[in-house]
Structure 1
């Protein structure tokens, strides 16, 4: 591999997946849902503004966006509007074949897996069903279920707890800097598949394996071999 790939010490016995931008190409659908929600308050969200919040989810990201915009808006109302709009656009959702292949390979190797995401649990499960991974990824943790979202480690620590695995034995797969930082804060190993590669945030270098070219550069077989061969 041409990517930065530091050896992982110890044994990795579980894989924790981010959802948005990793398993499913949800970023466009989520952004459109946010545009619809914020339009009710007279705000026209732009891609440039949204880029500042990639990797954060749940009510926290909506609250942060409201604060940054300086508007008087009901966060709970915005969250409901966003979820309703998201549900209405799920028919457009697609999964990434690269990470789907990795999920199936880890499943075949009997490696426990979970999804740890900033999205609401209902949205995560709906997306997993639509991309055909719901039967393989049955353990789901939403940032709405823990004290703090990414870059805090809470969602990953809760996922590890539910799987019955020590944090140091977990490998996180992420696409955004807050997720990489959360994995490090949790004491876990990390594969980074950046959703934004130009420019590439230097903080991605904290990942054990950095696939610099993003999803298009992922070699599922090589990545799984790295995880199972170097990390176990």
Structure 2
């Protein structure tokens, strides 16, 4: 997008890339992860805590596995990961629940700017979803938080995604749905578009960090990206 409001790869002083979260942004899956992990804890005689759902949103695979172990499930972290991913694979099958409007929004943006995914899902799950949705060619990079030091709300996965695109983090716009995700992208110095997750709405304080808010991913347009970037550069927020 160019400085005069037009579009074009690498032109002007506008955003140079868009980085998407996966769960809750491209696929309707946050509640699936939650149900699977909650059921596992109950079945294994552990104790699910009131804060467990929000604690694990955004955690990397090693982080949430260790957290599940701490709930008293009587499994190793590796065993917990294997079981959760086995159940997730059964739920997804060959058709992950792609959110209506996501494919069109991604393709409209990929014609203008390089795109990446920065997700807490394992690498194999990201690959599965993008292939199933027919979006593999629309993303130049994707990063799982299991590949970096810390999961969200730390900025690591977003910084790595920007690095793989060869774009400064401050010239990227992130698309997020959760409290920890918005905080991670903002901590990376990115402008943020928040698409509030209907199952687990982000905290108002996190929403206030975003440069733009949309109610569904189908409403994501090049203009929204420009608005979010402009608001962030101006030091304001559009909620």
Question: Normalising by structure 1, what TM-score?
Answer: 0.81
- Matching residue within 20, 24, 37 for 1:17: 20
- Tell me which residue corresponds to 1:7: none
- Measured at CA, do residues 101 and 159 of structure 1 come closer, stay the same or move farther in structure 2, by a change above 3 Å? same
Q: Say what the alpha-carbon RMSD is for the aligned residues.
A: 2.7
Query: Does the 8 Å contact 2:60/2:151 carry over to 1?
Result: yes
Measure the CA separation in 2 of the matches of 1:199 and 1:97: 18
SS at match of 1:178: helix
Match of 1:21, SS?
Answer: coil
| 1:138 positional shift | 4.4
Secondary structure, counterpart of 2:143 in structure 1: strand
Structure 2 unaligned residues grouped into runs of 5+ = 1-12, 231-239
Equivalent pair of 2:176/2:192 in contact (CA under 8 Å): yes
Q: CA deviation at 1:226?
A: 2.6
Match of 1:186 in 2: 188
For residues 118-144 of structure 1, the C-alpha deviation after alignment (integer angstroms, 9 at most, x for no partner) is 111001111112222222124110000
Q: Which has the higher contact order (CA 8 A, sep 6+)?
A: 1
Distance 1:32 1:152 in 2: 24
Whole-angstrom CA distance in 2 between matches of 1:28 and 1:210: 21
* 2:223 pairs with one of 204, 222, 225: 225
Paired with 1:138 and 1:18, the residues of 2 have a C-alpha distance of 14
CA distance in 1 between counterparts of 2:226 and 2:213 reads: 16
176 and 133 in structure 1: CA distance in 2 versus 1, 3 angstrom threshold: same
Q: What is the DSSP-based 3-state SS (H/G/I as helix, E as strand, rest coil) of the residue aligned with 2:160? A: helix
For 1:76-115, what aligned pairs fall within 5 Å after superposition?
Answer: 76-91=78-93, 93-109=96-112, 111-115=113-117
Q: Which of residues 173, 176, 179 in structure 2 aligns to 1:177? A: 179
Unaligned runs of 5+ in 1: 1-9
Partner of 1:142: 144
Q: Secondary structure at the match of 2:101?
A: helix
Runs ≥4 residues deviating over 6 A = none
Aligned residues of 2:61 and 2:121 also touching (Cα < 8 A):
yes
CA distances 1:32-61 after superposition (whole Å, capped 9, x unpaired)? 432454356234869984245333342212
SS at match of 1:22: coil
